[in-house]
Structures are given as C-alpha cells and as structure tokens.
Amino acid sequence: MSSKVFKTAAEALQGLTFDSMTVMSGGFGLCGIPENLIAALRDSGAQNITAISNNAGVDGFGLGLLLETRQIKKMISSYVGENKEFERQFLAGELDLEFNPQGTLAERIRAGGAGIPGFYTKTGVGTVIAEGKPTMEFDGEEYIMETGLKADVSLVKAWRGDTQGNLQFKKTARNFNPMMATAGKVTVVEVDELVEVGSFDPNYIHTPGIYVQRIIEAKCEKRIENMTTRDPGLGRGERGSA
Amino acid sequence: MSSKVFKTAAEALQGLTFDSMTVMSGGFGLCGIPENLIAALRDSGAQNITAISNNAGVDGFGLGLLLETRQIKKMISSYVGENKEFERQFLAGELDLEFNPQGTLAERIRAGGAGIPGFYTKTGVGTVIAEGKPTMEFDGEEYIMETGLKADVSLVKAWRGDTQGNLQFKKTARNFNPMMATAGKVTVVEVDELVEVGSFDPNYIHTPGIYVQRIIEAKCEKRIENMTTRDPGLGRGERGSA
Amino acid sequence: MAWTRDDMAKRAAQELKDGFYVNLGIGIPTLVANHIPDGVDVTLQSENGMLGMGPFPYPDEVDPDLINAGKQTITELRRSSYFNSAESFAMIRGGHIDISILGAMEISQGGDIANWMIPGKMVKGMGGAMDLVAGVKRCVAVMDHTNRAGKSKFLPECTLPLTGRNCIDMVITDLGVFSRGEGETRFRVTELAPGVEIDEVKAKTEADLVWG
Amino acid sequence: MAWTRDDMAKRAAQELKDGFYVNLGIGIPTLVANHIPDGVDVTLQSENGMLGMGPFPYPDEVDPDLINAGKQTITELRRSSYFNSAESFAMIRGGHIDISILGAMEISQGGDIANWMIPGKMVKGMGGAMDLVAGVKRCVAVMDHTNRAGKSKFLPECTLPLTGRNCIDMVITDLGVFSRGEGETRFRVTELAPGVEIDEVKAKTEADLVWG
C-alpha cells in the first residue's frame, strides 16, 4: 500500500494548501495542538484561511502564528482572546469571528465527519446563538438546528500513531482531535511517537486509520498556558484517593 | 459512595422493571448480549415491553426468551428472523415491529443519550423508511429527520468493569452496548470481570462510569450463531499479514 | 454579615450529594472543590474531556497533556477517564451531569442567566457555558447580589445577552440562597447569610421573588 | 459463456484499488475477498464494528466475541481496530468507506437498488444495507442478470421496495459489467462476459442503457 508516512510537516502538507481553504486544527487551549503542522501551514503561505478551532492560540504560538502573518480571515471558535494580536485584528474589523458554544462546535464537527448535515440541540435557545437558525419543537420544548462542519484539511495532534494511521491520544490532549480527524477531506496527523502496525491493542484505538491520510512523527514543545501546582510541602496521601 | 455493585442479575433489576416499559438490550446477533440480565428481565414478569435491540435473539436464547413468554409487545430492530417464535408471533399480528436501518438505529440511540432529539440522514431517502418523516434539503440533496431514542432501562454487556462503572468492551462484542449505556434512564451492566477502581488506564475506558447505575459480574454462555473456521491443515502464515 | 466568596462556595458545596457527577465553573465555583462535605464522594467533570479531575499536581508531576477547562494543569485519580470533546458534551447535553455550579453576571426571576458577554467589551466567547446551562440536570448560579454600583444583579429580566433561558434552579449570593423546585416558576428565599435581614435583601433585589 | 458466481466476484475484485477501505455484503460479495489482486492491499470493514477483518479462525482460535456482520466467527489482523456501531455507521454515512460491493434483487436504470424485502414474504430487515448504499463513496451491485423465470432484474424502475435511490455506480451480472461515471445518469455496457453477445444482453435487459 502506498505509504501514509511523511518525513516532515512541510512534506505532509505538500499539495494540500491553497488560498481561502478551510482548516480544522485540534487542541484545547495549547493542549493537544498540532504545533508542527500549524507552523508548516504558515510557511505554505496560504491566505484567507477559515480556521475551525476551539481556541486561537496565544501570541507567537499555535494559531497565533497564522494570526501574526494575517493568513487567517475567519475563526470559528468557542473561546478566544488569550491573544493580543487576535483582539487587535478583531477590533479593527480585519478578522471575522463566529462563536459557537463549545459543545455545539464539537458536535458540528462530529456531524460533519459522520454525514449528518443537521441536528437539533437545546444549547443556545433564547440566546443570540439561535438567531436565524431553524427551530423545531420536541416534546413541547424548543430546539435549534445546527449544521455539520467539514474542512479541506484537518490538522490533528495525537500521542501515538501507527503507519496505517491508527491513533491513540493522551489524557486531555484528546479533546477536539478525534472528531476533526473524521471531518477533513484530507486529515494530516502529527504524533509524538510513530510505531509499527500491530503495536496497538485493537480494542484501544481511538481513531481508526481510515480517517488518516498522512502522518508524521514530530517533536512538540507542548507549552503550558496556566501552570498550577500544589505546595510540595503537602503530603502526597491524597493521590491514593479514588 | 453508595455502591453500584449488585450481586445477581435479579437484584440488579430490582425496582426497575414494570409493565409497558421500554428496554434497550445490547448486542449484535448473539455477540455481546447481556444474557443474564435478559433472563432476569424475563423472571421479573414485566409485560408489554418495547425492546430496542439490533436483533431479536434466537429461539430459547437472548431476547428469544422474552418472546417465548410473550413479554415483548414491540421490537425496534434492524434485522430479525433468526427466530421461529418471532416469525410466528409477527405473522399472527401479536407483535409490533419497527425496522430501522442499522446505522439509523445506532445513531438514534447515540442521539437519545446525547440530548439530540432529531438529526438528518440520507439513509432511507426514497424508501419506505422515509414515509411520514420530515425532510430537509442541504446542498441540494434531500435528507430525512430521525429522532433520538431513550429507554427506561438499558441492559448492557461489557467485558470488564470497575466498581465505579467504568467499562471496557471486547472486540466486536462492543457494538450497540456503549450507546445504549448512554440512553437508559437507568443503565444496568453485566461484565465478565469486575475489577477494582484504578485497574484501567484512564486513556482506554470505553464507557465512563457516569453512564452506569448498576453493575454485576456474571458468567456468560456466549453462544456462537454461525461457527465458521478454516481448515486446520492450512498453514498459519497468513496470520502474519497486516 | 454577608457571605465571603469562600462562604458562598461552602454553601454551594452543600448542594453536592454523594455519588454526584459535578461540573464546576471558573471563579467562585472552583473553590467549591475545597468544601465538599465529609462522606460525600463526588466525581468532577472537566468539559475538555475528563471525569475524575484530581487536585493540582506537585511541581514534578506537571503534564502539559493534562489540563482542566480553565487550562490549569491538574492530576488524575484512580477513577478517572478521558474522552473527546463531542463525548464530553454529549454527556453534558444528554443530562448526565447531576449539577453545574457556575458564576453569573445577571440572573432573571425566570431563571435566565447572563454570564458570557458585556456589549462593547472584547468578547472572549461562551466556551462551554451555554451547553452546560442547557444540558445539566440542575444549575446553581453563584454571584454577588449587587454590582459595584450597588445595583441588583437579580433582575426581572437580564439586560446582558443571555447564556441560557429558564435554566437556573438555585442562586447563591453573598446575601442568601434563592431556589425553586422542579416545575416552579418563581424563586423563593430559602436562606439568609448570618446577620442579613430580609429587608436588606428586598431592598437590593429587583427580581420578583417569593419572600417567605 | 456467462460468468459464474466466482467469476463475478473476481470481476468485482478488480474494482478494489490499493489502500481502499472496503465493505463487502453477504453472498457473492463475500467471495470477493478471495480474489483481491496481487499488490492491492485493502482493509475490510465489518459494519458491526471492525476495520481490518481477517480470515476465518482455525478451530482453536474461535472467539464468540469476534464476529462479522454475517455473524460468522472471524479473526483480527495486526492493523485491526474495533469501535461501536454508531462510530461504524458514522464511518459509512460520512463517506469514508471507498467502496461497497453488495448483492441485489433488482437495479433500476437510474441506479436505484432493491435488495431487502419481497412483499408477502417474511421480512428479516434491512440491517445495514440502506446505510451502506446511502453513504459509501462507490457502490457496486452484483447479481444474476435475470431471475429464474428469465425475466430481467435490470429494469426501468424497481418493482420491489427500494433499499436506496440513485446510489449504484456499477452493476456486475453474469452477462457483463454496466457502469456510469460521476454525474452520469445512465449506465453504459463496459464489458461482456466471454462468449456473451451484446444482442443476448439487450434481449435480457429491460433497463434503458447506453449500448455502445
């Protein structure tokens, strides 16, 4: 079989990037973001990108890189503003912003990947989110319709992947990555560790390789946004708690 | 915390069964069915049950037990008829049957558990399945609306479970079980092996304990419907194939 | 004497029952975790994809792949499980979380909540707040009773853009506790902070409540 | 000489390209797995929740927890993965499976397929067939060209209840191959079984096809 494995992030994006493309990028805050692929997307020079991502990175890191270079025209996100450059461009009217409730965003991406063009949810009923959206009543309660989302390319960060594209995610770095893997016309993945086929127990694969077209192994910096720790003087007894 | 662990299937269903209840029962064919809980449901004597299950068991096993005793009034399934008693009752007009395409059934159950009262799908457009259902056009194509499904009680079969109700499923015995666990007002699970909390790697839990109200360990017979094997004379070389 | 932030968190913690699955918002609600009553075992959900959120890590345990919804580094417990964001919000939207305790800017007498944007200021987004108030079985809002200008935040109608409509079951302020049961349309004063007189609360409340 | 069942399966196998994810129906389509061309590596999906379906087990390997959609005992491969039924059909409905090869009772000239029920007979259900024809990128139907009475099964309109409308891209019968490209409304005869004359096919076909 023709290989899914590429050597570098730049090679993995070769031929996939173009102006006015829609890109999904995994992660929650800076946790589980495809750092190397984002940098390669910046270097591709693609302009007027619509970026679907729960957050918008920080100044100089994550999607912040693409904001700095003004390659992003529109963001579809649930929470932004950890990022001065974002705020500046938005307030200057240089950047479009579509807020989605976080769960609606996650479900829209899952729906896009699952061939579901629309679904009903209670989230946002009676708020600005509902404006202009079709509604339907079920059991006497009002729901609004949300649509599925797809992307030209999905950039995904996983923990381990095999050469067939089977993926495992680590802890809360999973977040939006598995759904985005299903919703890209082409899905490109960077993993901390690339392993041989057969390394995973088939019971515990989070994303089957069918969703992955290209994969690279790459070292991530993994910046921490809010470092919070406990006083090391306190006992570790609690760790035994269930 | 008050314990989720019960000793027997009968005790686990205590207080949950009643006439005209809706029950979801996991499994595909006879693979991954909650054998002991089905038998206990029969023994509860509940009548006029609506059973949501991909299949209807076989004569004398699985949901076949509840058909024999005429405790099932209606089945919502995708494929039936491995079962003479089922056929007899259906043809005699004693049993209601609602066919759902298998993927529609799976998604309806997932939607029910996820608080999604309706979603659109292309499955069944132009067929009898579409009759009487709302439709909507997306990108020039017609889709039909399907509704979410819930149950009074979901009977689930898992491989291993811990005392908090975290579950792991084995191979293709997973099938409908995880979604049904989310869609029951009360979810009762039988596992091959009950383990202590902390036995699982939290990265590889298929069903978080939040969905499980009661759990038992019970021995399953695990009948095989279609035993198919290879000639033992053939070499095992192929097993090395990827 | 009106309740402090910590008092309010402590009072909110009384709403947690043994076996509950709980989502705590940012701010005062985060403090609730410090006041869970003895003998009450709850499981904390973090909407970025975790059940069984543990305490902050010791410095040598910090893992950038393990954060909570406030993007703080945290730890796991023996009961923990991880899942993706769609599964996390399916859990929330599907009514599987027993209680959400969240901060508010305004609450209306009909149980509407506003807590995500102030027109004219830079808007950061609603994150998971709209999903939580729409989906969780029981929502408890914690806020100061009045704003810095002394104006009531418990109002006939919210003036700020809503996060959700008719979704708050209990309001805990520095002055007391206001709750309504299943199917009740109006809030009732159920508790006053020590030393707070009902007349003071009435004077500081624009919402129409059941006062007794 | 018209194709045998095995010939039809072999011809269908030619539609599999290297790297494809494939769903095979019950009956003749199951035989396709025996004819996958050398150098073509495909991954078989089983809609009950598996990618990378392996061959039947040796008798000492049989596992009741490992079956295919035909409820036959099977084995796993090194590449295999398991998932639940909702995820399996999300994969199918979302257009991620490259090709589905399935049996048919009737095909219409507009690409409709009927393969799940005969009115008046006990109906077993559609299983996953409606989802597959609606969702998979390319659907190839395999069937005998005529029924036992010699009547065409390739028709202007199906007479049996439909499984799906306008979803079949290629029809392989014992007499030949009929296909239409992306966006083409009509089927074209693209291949005849060895020794089969076009006039015989015309005589046995009620559907309006492109005959040249």
The stretch D102-121 carries a mean pLDDT of 95
Q: Which residue has the tokens 């409308």?
A: D165
Rg (CA), chain B: 19
Q: HSE (CB half, 13 Å, CA atoms) of A206?
A: 29
Band of pLDDT at residue A242, cut at 50, 70 and 90? low
The angle, 0 to 180 degrees and rounded to 10, between the axes of the packed helices D85-93 and B102-113 is 120
The question of ipTM being above 0.95 is answered as yes
CA separation for the pair A233, D58 (Å, rounded): 59
Residue D72 bridge partners (DSSP): B226
Strands (E), C54-187: 76-82, 99-103, 106-108, 113-114, 138-142, 154-155, 170-172, 176-179
Other residues' Cβ atoms within 10 Å of the Cβ of residue A181: 31
Other residues' Cβ atoms within 10 Å of the Cβ of residue B11: 12
Q: Which residue has the tokens 């019950």?
A: D26
Among residues B103, B125, C89, C82, the alpha carbon closest in space to that of A108 is found at C89
C98-124 pLDDT, tens digit each? 999 999 999 999 999 999 999 988 889
C10-56 pLDDT, tens digit each? 999 999 999 999 999 999 999 999 999 999 999 999 999 999 999 99
D108 by DSSP, 3-state: which?
Answer: strand
C141-177 pLDDT, tens digit each? 999 999 999 999 999 999 999 999 999 999 999 999 9
Other residues' Cβ atoms within 10 Å of the Cβ of residue D70: 18
Q: What is the pLDDT of residue D122?
A: 83
Q: What is the pLDDT of residue B82?
A: 81
Say yes or no: B122 contacts chain D, CB-CB below 8 A: yes
Q: Do chains C and D touch (3 or more CB pairs under 8 A)?
A: no
Q: What is the pLDDT of residue A138?
A: 98
Test mutation, B54, B76, B77, B102, chain D, max D CBs within 10 A: B102
Low-confidence ranges of chain B (pLDDT < 70): 1, 234-242
pLDDT greater than 80 at residue D186: yes
Among residues C193, C149, C174, the alpha carbon closest in space to that of C4 is found at C174
Q: Tokens representing A70?
A: 């003004």
The chain-wide mean pLDDT, for chain C, equals: 96
Euclidean distance between the first and final Cα of chain D, in Å?
21
CA separation for the pair A181, A172 (Å, rounded): 16
CA C201 to chain centre: 21
CA separation for the pair D200, D176 (Å, rounded): 11
CA distance A160 to chain B (A): 12
C191-201 pLDDT, tens digit each? 999 999 999 99
CB A178 within 8 A of CB D83: no
Q: What is the pLDDT of residue B239?
A: 44
Q: Cβ C67–A29 below 8 Å, yes or no?
A: yes
Question: Can you say whether residue C111 is alpha, beta or left, with left for phi > 0 and alpha for psi between -120 and 50 degrees?
Answer: left
CB C212 within 8 A of CB C191: no
Say yes or no: B233 contacts chain C, CB-CB below 8 A: no
* Residue type for position A205: I
Q: What is the pLDDT of residue D1?
A: 78
Domains and CATH numbers, chain A: 9-217 (3.40.1080.10)
| Strand order across the A141-147 sheet | A135-138, A141-147, A118-121, B118-121, B141-147, B135-138
C-alpha angle B72-B189-D69 in degrees, rounded to nearest 5: 70
Residues of chain A contacting D76 with CB distance shorter than 8 Å? 202
Q: Cβ C79–B1 below 8 Å, yes or no?
A: no
Backbone angles phi, psi at D149, to 5 degrees: -85, 0
Reported pTM: 0.97
The stretch C84-88 carries a mean pLDDT of 98
Q: What is the pLDDT of residue B238?
A: 46
C63 by DSSP, 3-state: which?
Answer: coil
* Residue type for position B242: A
CB B52 within 8 A of CB B25: yes
CB C83 within 8 A of CB C129: no
CA separation for the pair B217, A194 (Å, rounded): 38
Counting DSSP H helices and E strands in chain B, the numbers are: 6, 11
| Strand order across the C170-172 sheet | C76-82, C50-53, C43-46, C21-24, C99-103, C138-142, C170-172, C176-179, C188-192
Other residues' Cβ atoms within 10 Å of the Cβ of residue C126: 28
CA distance D115 to chain B (A): 12
CA separation for the pair A210, A231 (Å, rounded): 45
Residues of chain D contacting A211 with CB distance shorter than 8 Å? 96
Q: What is the 3-state secondary structure (H, E, C) of B215-226?
A: EEECCCCCCCCE
The angle, 0 to 180 degrees and rounded to 10, between the axes of the packed helices A102-113 and C85-93 is 120
Strands (E), D88-203: 99-103, 106-108, 113-114, 138-142, 154-155, 170-172, 176-179, 188-192
Among residues D28, D1, D21, D27, the alpha carbon closest in space to that of D12 is found at D28
> Residues of C near B (CB-CB distance < 8 A)?
18-19, 21, 41, 43, 45, 51-52, 76, 78-83, 89-97, 135
pLDDT greater than 90 at residue C206: yes
Q: What is the pLDDT of residue A154?
A: 98
CB B155 within 8 A of CB B186: no
Q: HSE (CB half, 13 Å, CA atoms) of C84?
A: 22
Chains linked to C by 3 or more Cβ pairs within 8 Å: A, B
Among residues A171, A108, A36, B198, the alpha carbon closest in space to that of C48 is found at A171
Q: What is the pLDDT of residue B3?
A: 93
Q: What is the DSSP letter of A127?
A: S
Backbone angles phi, psi at A160, to 5 degrees: -130, 145
Q: What is the pLDDT of residue D129?
A: 98
Q: Is the dihedral of CA C17, C19, C23, C24 positive or negative?
A: positive
- B-chain residue closest to D61, CA distance: B229
CA separation for the pair B9, B214 (Å, rounded): 10
> Which of C86, C127, C162 is nearest residue A127 as measured by Cβ atoms?
C162
The H or E element containing residue A39 is: helix A35-44
CA distance A177 to chain D (A): 15
B12 by DSSP, 3-state: which?
Answer: helix
User: B151-162 and B167-168: which strand pairing?
Assistant: antiparallel
D58-95 pLDDT, tens digit each? 999 999 999 999 999 999 999 999 999 999 999 999 99
> Which of B30, B122, B242 is nearest residue D78 as measured by Cβ atoms?
B242
**Between D157 and D122, residue with greater pLDDT:** D157
> Which of B118, B164, B169 is nearest residue A136 as measured by Cβ atoms?
B118
Catalytic annotation, pick one of C47, C106, C191, C197: C47
A133-188 pLDDT, tens digit each? 999 999 999 999 999 999 999 999 999 999 999 999 999 999 999 999 999 999 99
Q: Cβ A203–D52 below 8 Å, yes or no?
A: no
Band of pLDDT at residue A233, cut at 50, 70 and 90? confident
Q: Tokens representing C72?
A: 């703080």
CA separation for the pair D125, D117 (Å, rounded): 7
pLDDT greater than 50 at residue D155: yes
The H or E element containing residue A136 is: strand A135-138
Largest CA distance in chain A: 56
